[in-house]
Amino acid sequence: MNRSTASCGTERTAFHPNMVKAFNSFGIELIQYGTDNPLFVYHPTGKSKYLYSKSIADLSFPAFIVITVCSDAEDKCPYLPEATARYHLGFEDPKKYDGTEEELRGYQDKIIEIGSQLFYLAKKMQA
């Protein structure tokens, strides 16, 4: 079975500029194209990956596993009958650091927190 993955939300917004700075600070260079809902491109292994804001309505394949990450996403995320499993991780939005001395560090910490929890969840699902 061919499985796809996608990141999306309940509405299209844009990748927050502070999160882009945080990724860049880790050496993950995101190249931006456009302004309203910019497309970001990076090349992790020589293959281009394309990142942009999508809504659940934009997906062209059924969801198998739903993982909600925003603290209020569990209540706002629509029911997807195609999903075989649903997990809620509930991360606090790092926007609370915007305009403070901790701004970059807050976004860097969020990348580490989300990455480690998704890694743990992936390992748990393989067991």
Whether 8 is in a domain gets the answer no
pLDDT in tens, 24-56: 999 999 999 998 889 999 888 888 888 888 887
| Spatial separation of the C-alpha atoms in residues 90 and 99, rounded to whole Å | 23
What are the tokens at 112?
């580490």
Query: Residue 38: inside a domain, yes or no?
Result: yes
Long-range contacts of 67-70 (CB under 8 A, 24+ apart): 67/118, 67/121, 69/114, 70/9
Q: The whole model's pTM is what?
A: 0.79
What's the number of domains the chain is made of?
Answer: 1
Within a domain: 1: no
Domain of 43 in residue numbering reads as 17-126
pLDDT band, residue 63 (cuts 50/70/90)? low
Tell me the residue length of the chain.
127
Cα–Cα–Cα angle for 1, 58, 38, nearest 5°?
Answer: 115
3-state helix, strand, coil in the chain (%, to 5): 35, 20, 45
